[in-house]
Amino acid sequence: MTEFLNNYPILTLVTFLPLVGAFVILFMKNEVNIRWTALLFTVVDFIVSLPLVCYFNTATHKMQFVERYSWIPSWNISYYMGIDGISVLFVFLTALLGWICILASWKAIEKKVKEFMIVILVMQTAMIGVFCALDFFLFYLFWEAMLIPMYLIIGVWGGERRIYSAVKFFLYTLAGSVLLLVGIIVLYFAGGNTFDILSLMNQNYSFTVQFWVFLAFFVAFAIKVPMFPFHTWLPDAHVEAPTAGSIILAGILLKMGTYGFLRFAMPMLPEATHYFTMPILLLSLVAIIYGGYLALAQEDLKKLVAYSSVSHMGFVTLGLFVYNTTGIEGGILQMLNHGISTSALFLCVGVIYERTHTRKISAYGGLAKVAPVYTTFFAIFMLSSLAIPGTNSFIGELLIIVGAFGYNKVIAGVAVLGAGLGAAYLLGMYKRVALGEITNEHLKEVWDLDAREIIAMVALVVFVVWIGLYPKPFLNVMHASTEHLLKQITVTPPQ
């Protein structure tokens, strides 16, 4: 089987299958058929992505399932795809969230269904491409190509202030990525006229080059994460985006920022990475605490989850920059966890919004009485986001904090405080929404989950519990690559 997989362009298949689906939908008319076709393509894409995980060789840090074809010879650019222990997890996550997004939009999207499904499928291709690309030009192409569909998803199918949010999202992200482009081209010339990511990792750049390129990369990736103080686009985008948009944003787009650090900034620019460690760790701590505080004060369910994302992503960046296996593996695992738990929370918010058309926390109360199944799932995801032992995030945050203790005790101590904040806002929210007496007459008309919604939620619960109780397979997959990454970033710190 492995032999078979290595001989066939499976990564290309996983990446471009959704795009093929978008093309097919382009020629369809019936809305019901369009929904089913979109679902079919995303499910098949998910199934095709499974062998990537099942037959992944965990013993090596080398790129697997590699495909390489010359593309633009005069600039030495090739179509170069491959995954290692880090990216395989996110290819899988993207494929998983793909069909969940379609399910989440089944009823929520009523106007322009055809366009929506096309845009979501195009987005899916671009996102998987980002994680598979091993050529910097190809990577940048996928990275920027995400902007157009995401802009449309927020702007066309969003809430009331959708246009403002869409434009803000677009310009914010574009401003970051154009600097990334300059950084990429500088590395191309500094690294011997190549866009090959692997060979760019093996160069020794002068500290000046590293310093400036790191700054350019940092702005681009920090906006995507988003790190404090670049986070202001996130709440707007999240609040206005339709449920599927929020899931994509929280589940995958935010991961691209941290993935960028892992794949490019750290291994390519180790000295600059060390140079900037302290500021980044401090910004992470600010994000953890400040994001948590902001979440405490939110009246809007989506905004609350959005600010909790800022806090949680703070944990991820903290874990990545403490330079030990525990911390980095915790960070990567937490990226995956956040993709699952926060997407699930947005799914929950979307489900209830479809029924009540409000996201105001004060409009709810006592939901558990009318929709017990829903509140049970909600509770599981809330607890998972809160990092209760037995859930996925517990493992992730624990590893990060242990890793941080190994680096600096004060930083770790502050991070623990931030974890406490999480309990405050999440439990508070849950209490006000689900528990107590029914405060609002409308809520009595709320119906419980249907089969479609249960399928989507169960799929996510499986991973919450699996990673929570037995994270070993996931850690195994990333272990070799993490060790290799650590080796790459071990340098003598500059004087």
Partner 1 sequence: MQFNIINIIASMPEIIVIAAACLLLMVDLFLSKRQKHLMAYLAIAVVIIAAIQTWRIEGVRPLYIFDRLFVVDSFATFFKTIFYLSTFLAILLSMNYIKIEDIEHSEYYILMLFALSGMMIMASGADLITIYLGLELMALPVYLLTGFMRKDIRSNEAAMKYIVLGALSSGILLYGISLIYGLTGTTQLSYIAASLKGGAKVDSALILATIFLIAGFGFKVAAVPFHMWAPDTYEGAPTSITAFMSVGPKAAAFAVFLRVMLHALAPISFNWIAIVAVISVVTMIFGSVVALVQTNIKRMLAYSSIGHAGYALLGFVAGGADGIASVMLYLFIYTFMNMGIFGAIIVMRKGGFSGENIEDYTGLAKVHRGMALLMLIFLFSLAGIPPTAGFVGKFYIFMALIHKGFISLAVIAVIASAIAAYFYIRIVMLMYMKEPAREFDVAQTSATRLALAIAAFGTIIIGILPAWAIDFVQRAVFR
Give contact residues for partner 1 (rule: CB under 8 A): 71-75, 115, 140-141, 144-145, 147-148, 151-152, 155-156, 162-163, 166-167, 170-171, 174-175, 178-179, 181-182, 185-186, 188-189, 212
How long, in residues, is the chain?
495
Least distance in angstroms from the C-beta of 74 to partner 1: 5
Residue 261: DSSP 8-state: I
Least distance in angstroms from the C-beta of 25 to partner 1: 13
Q: How far apart are CA 372 and CA 434, in angstroms?
A: 9
DSSP annotation string for 60-97: --S-EEEEEEEEEGGGTEEEEEEE-TTHHHHHHHHHHH
Which of residues 242 and 330 has its CB atom nearest to partner 1 in the complex? 242
Which of residues 43 and 215 has its CB atom nearest to partner 1 in the complex? 215
User: Does the bond joining 270 to the residue before it have cis omega, within 30 degrees of 0?
Assistant: no
Least distance in angstroms from the C-beta of 238 to partner 1: 18
Answer for the pair 478, 90: CB distance below 8 angstroms, yes or no.
no
Count other Cβ atoms within 10 Å, centred on residue 296.
Answer: 17
Which of residues 108 and 186 has its CB atom nearest to partner 1 in the complex? 186
Least distance in angstroms from the C-beta of 75 to partner 1: 7
Q: How far apart are CA 144 and CA 226, in angstroms?
A: 17
Least distance in angstroms from the C-beta of 233 to partner 1: 14
Least distance in angstroms from the C-beta of 158 to partner 1: 8
Which of residues 152 and 467 has its CB atom nearest to partner 1 in the complex? 152
327: CB partners within 8 A, 6+ apart:
318, 319, 320, 321, 399, 400, 402, 403, 404, 406, 407
Least distance in angstroms from the C-beta of 247 to partner 1: 21
Give one word for 68, left, alpha or beta, with left for phi > 0 and alpha for psi -120 to 50.
beta
Structure tokens at 276: 């900037």
Which of 118, 153, 125 shows the shortest CA–CA distance to 141? 125
Q: How far apart are CA 92 and CA 414, in angstroms?
A: 33
- Report helix angle 409-434 to 277-296, nearest 10: 20
338: CB partners within 8 A, 6+ apart:
250, 254, 255, 309, 312, 313, 316, 393, 396
Least distance in angstroms from the C-beta of 176 to partner 1: 9
Which of residues 140 and 233 has its CB atom nearest to partner 1 in the complex? 140
DSSP, collapsed to helix, strand or coil, labels residue 355 as helix
Which of residues 70 and 490 has its CB atom nearest to partner 1 in the complex? 70
Buried b (16+ CB within 10 A) or exposed e, 471-494: beebbebbbbbbebbbebbeeeee
Structure tokens at 396: 């992730």
Which of residues 216 and 249 has its CB atom nearest to partner 1 in the complex? 216
Least distance in angstroms from the C-beta of 177 to partner 1: 9
Least distance in angstroms from the C-beta of 147 to partner 1: 6
